[in-house]
Amino acid sequence: MKTPIYLDNHATTPVDPRVLEVMLPYFTHKFGNAASRNHAFGWEAEEAVDRARQQVGALVGADAKEIIFTSGATESNNLAILGAAQFLGENGGHIITCRTEHKAVLDPARYLESKGFRVTWLGVDANGSISLEELERAMTPDTLLVSLMAANNEVGTLHPLEEIGKICADKNVLFHTDATQGVGHMNIDVARMNIGLLSMSAHKIYGPKGVGALYVRRRRKPRVKLSPLLHGGGHEWGLRSGTLNVPGIAGFGEAARLISAEGQAETQRILALRERLHQGITERLGHIKLNGHPTLRHPGNLNLSFAYVEGESLLMGMDDVAVSSGSACTSASLEPSYVLRALGVGDDLAHSSIRFGLGRFTTQQEIDHVIQRVTAVVNRLREMSPLYEMAQEGIDLSKVKWQQAH
């Protein structure tokens, strides 16, 4: 078994060797520009892009012509949200999103808010789930867009896309979903779910970094229209100008094809490993909290808080395992995750949270090693914690009156 062990697949996945094999010719002898339609080099590149469009579209039940290639999910989210707002709401309007969205959705929404748009920020319950009743109540006659993610990147909670889509369709409101963490891991059908816009990225499904896609509904009514963010050569039906990343797009297409064919079996295997990891840790350690929905969650996501342990210390203690912490260390402060705060997780537990992200290449041997490492490091850190000692003695720490140092 090689170390370090990679359990940060929500941040990025490794490129599948089969994907790389498809990409390599487009760096060398198949190097044409897909927009060069006067010779065989361009035709060859265009053929690769067309094939990838079909493969990526098939992953979410879309037509090939409804797929717009971008540089990644961040650009796709910006094009969806800003492009829809600019086209539909020249004089402002109302947008609904959620406090636990990725920053690539939150920041465009905040930008629109600064430009006069009204934004409703839905809250979530302790599992990270929205209230469908609250969503419906928030809608007004000037609501232009609802943007809610498929699967949360930190705690793995799944949003009920079909129910959200039905509410939006009944109210004639455009529905965008950031499905970056969801595609390939949950059954997504844009028609059945009444999705008008959907963002995704290749590097979350074992494809290359730097390429993503936006599904833009065309074949069903109401057809979605956007204002472009990038202007230039009129590529991608005028919605996203710029020379296409042919090797990346070819790789994205193959990654989509593979996960379409193998995703169901892969999901079951990853889910079994995740349950093994969760059970193995909880059998050996107490004072652990699962963050996110217990069942309606991404199959590879396990987000745990380890009470009386600081997350950064835990990360440093198990330096042979690549995971993410629930707090982001900056030069000035240690801020807990805004997602965990939205779930009502206290700062102490948020600081002690670890996100384990399992994936295609995770093995049972690696999981068993991680169980042992986490157990050993948490026990060692707790032995040094006076708070843990007090808790073991039955002292309710929430009722302790701490004296301030002078």
Q: Are strands 94-98 and 143-147 parallel, antiparallel or unpaired?
A: parallel
Environment class of 153 (CB within 10 Å of its CB; exposed 0-12, middle 13-18, buried 19+):
buried
Q: Strands of 79-181 (E only): list them.
A: 94-98, 118-122, 143-147, 174-178
**Do 278 and 252 fall into the same domain?**
no
**Do 363 and 302 fall into the same domain?**
yes
**Do 49 and 186 fall into the same domain?**
yes
For residues 199-233, one letter each, b for 16 or more C-beta atoms within 10 angstroms of the residue's C-beta and e for the rest, the string is: bbbbbbbbbbbbbbbbbbbeeeeeebebebeeeee
- 405 inside domain: no
d(CA 141, CA 171): 9
For residue 363 the two structure tokens come to 């093995």
**Do 244 and 271 fall into the same domain?**
no
**Do 32 and 88 fall into the same domain?**
yes
CB atoms inside a 10 Å sphere around CB 401: 4
Q: Model pTM?
A: 0.94
- Residues serving a catalytic function are 329
Per-residue model confidence (pLDDT) at position 334: 62
**Do 318 and 203 fall into the same domain?**
no
**Of the candidates 211, 244, 259, which is a domain's last residue?**
259
d(CA 312, CA 280): 22
Q: Which of 165, 171, 161 is nearest to 129 (CA)?
A: 161
**Do 222 and 269 fall into the same domain?**
no
At residue 84, the 3 state secondary structure works out as helix
**Of the candidates 259, 285, 315, which is a domain's last residue?**
259
- 329-337 long-range contacts, CB within 8 A, separation 24+: 337/154
**Do 241 and 296 fall into the same domain?**
no
Residue 130's domain comprises: 17-259
CB atoms inside a 10 Å sphere around CB 168: 25
Q: Please report, for the domain that includes residue 289, its CATH number.
A: 3.90.1150.10
* DSSP codes of every residue in 179-195: -TTTBTTB---TTTTT-
d(CA 300, CA 131): 24
Per-residue model confidence (pLDDT) at position 338: 93
Domain count for the chain? 2
**Of the candidates 233, 259, 285, which is a domain's last residue?**
259
Per-residue model confidence (pLDDT) at position 325: 86
Per-residue model confidence (pLDDT) at position 1: 83
**Do 100 and 29 fall into the same domain?**
yes
**Do 321 and 364 fall into the same domain?**
yes
- 406 inside domain: no
- 226 inside domain: yes
Q: Strands of 202-269 (E only): list them.
A: 212-216
pLDDT along the chain (406 residues), means of 10: 93 98 97 93 95 98 97 97 90 91 97 95 98 97 96 97 98 97 96 98 98 94 89 86 96 98 96 98 96 97 93 90 73 73 92 95 98 96 80 65 56
- 195 inside domain: yes
- 103 inside domain: yes
**Do 310 and 218 fall into the same domain?**
no
**Do 163 and 195 fall into the same domain?**
yes
Q: Strands of 167-258 (E only): list them.
A: 174-178, 197-201, 212-216
